[in-house]
Amino acid sequence: MNHEFIDLQPVAHVQGAVRLPGSKSISNRILLLSALSQGDVAIVDLLASDDTAVMLAALRSLGVQWTEEKTATGTIHHVKGVAGVLPNKSADLFMGNAGTAIRPLTAALAVIGGDYTLHGVPRMHERPIGDLVDALNAAGTNVEYTGNPGFPPLHIKQGKIHAQRLSVRGDVSSQFLTALLMVAPLMAREHAISIDVVGELISKPYIEITLNLIRRFGVTVEQNGWESFTIQPGQVYQSPGTIHVEGDASSASYFLAAGAIAGGPVRVEGVGKDSIQGDVRFAAALEQMGVQITMGDNWIEAKSNGVLKAIDADFNHIPDAAMTIAIAALYADGTSTLRNIASWRVKETDRIAAMAIELRKVGAIVEEGADYIKVTPPAVITPATIDTYDDHRMAMCFSLVSLDGAARKGNVMRINDPKCVGKTFPEYFAAFAAIAK
């Protein structure tokens, strides 16, 4: 694969099975929980990608010991838990563009205290973290901005936790609440800690992942709807022994959409009806568009029933997978509207703006708003060179525009900077080629 671009030939039909890489959200949460827990943890099928490499390197810099074991079926990472006491009291940590790493780690380091600096790529320094830092500092931590207020880079010093209630905004990124929930047991030494959510909580399924994993590590969170969460004192993370990482449901969306657009059946393995990831609900959105979906315990399959139906729906619960719906809309029978997706604007890039620009290149009529996007498909998709904005999901989404090739033989789609998929799915284009017939 050329690092600068990849050319995708038109494909008339897709079929086959894809074994998914591990979930990014689950992988980075499990890594931090394992590091903070008492005992040794064996993590099976951890995602191997840029974002998990960032977290693994950070943990090593903090003195957390881990080893990787290759087995016949995959990998096992053995992490030695430090029971909430980090061996290294100072470290300089490079966090890349990994929101799932920097946000929980900032909270953990702030609560534990020390002398730590966290920084990342230029885009990371444009991704908000102020609501999390405000919540932490109000509770007694000592986190300073060394660049623009409200954004990384950060300098963390020793603080003293005095609060028993914290409040955090829920409407910018669910990762702020995730970060506070994960470190709440470290704060609840003598007193219970309650976390109040201010405003509407977005991306609730990601909080469900967090709560599920916290429970797996032996800590109970009391929940008052989505308004507040309480952790009773004296709870300590305990190793679950061995823990398996589910396949990435966001990554599954591209292959399921491929089956929806270009025949199928396409089966993804590693997620199914028992998944703890909200993004499996992407399959329900495809069903609304007329796609035939079947599910097992550990697999989902999509098969086309002809032209897709246009959709008008709220996608706040699955913002990452919803990007794939915007591409599926190119193959629908009318205008599709994706609503309540303001969080797209503070992701790896401003995804509403980027999606609008690139969809127009292939001939779509697009209307973008502060928190919605409307896509009207073209009569014929125009070949184009797609820019990816250093955003893994832009690259994976737009690979789908090479489908339905019967209508436009010889029309090559060019994807610039395809290596950006390394953030979550380094082998993506090989997996995509394997189902393209």
The active-site residue out of 45, 51, 279, 320 is 320
Supply 388's token pair.
């990816």
End-to-end distance of the chain based on CA atoms, in angstroms? 19
- Residue found by looking up tokens 């609501």 in the block: 131
Q: At a CB cut-off of 8 Å and minimum separation 6, what does 433 contact?
A: none
Answer whether 47's CB lies under 8 Å from 77's CB. Answer: no
SS3 139: coil
- Residue found by looking up tokens 């992490």 in the block: 79
Q: At a CB cut-off of 8 Å and minimum separation 6, what does 308 contact?
A: 260, 261, 289, 290, 291, 328, 329, 331, 332, 333
C-alpha span between 316 and 314 (Å, rounded): 6
Supply 268's token pair.
């993804």
How far apart, in Å, are the Cα atoms of 187 and each of 58, 132, 184, 201, 394? Answer: 22, 15, 5, 22, 38
Give, for 353, the enclosing helix (H) or strand (E). helix 351-361
How far apart, in Å, are the Cα atoms of 279 and each of 33, 104, 201, 285? Answer: 22, 21, 17, 10
Task: Give the burial class of 122: count Cβ atoms within 10 A of its Cβ; 0-12 exposed, 13-18 middle, 19 or more buried.
Answer: exposed
The angle that helices 392-399 and 428-435 make with each other, rounded to 10 degrees, is 10
- Residue found by looking up tokens 């704060």 in the block: 187
Other residues' Cβ atoms within 10 Å of the Cβ of residue 378: 13
Give all strands (DSSP E) within 211-271, no chain letters: 222-224, 228-231, 242-244, 263-269
Q: Write out the DSSP string of 19-68.
A: EPPBPHHHHHHHHHHHHHSBSEEEEES---SHHHHHHHHHHHHTT--EEE
Active site residue 320: yes
Residues with catalytic function: 320
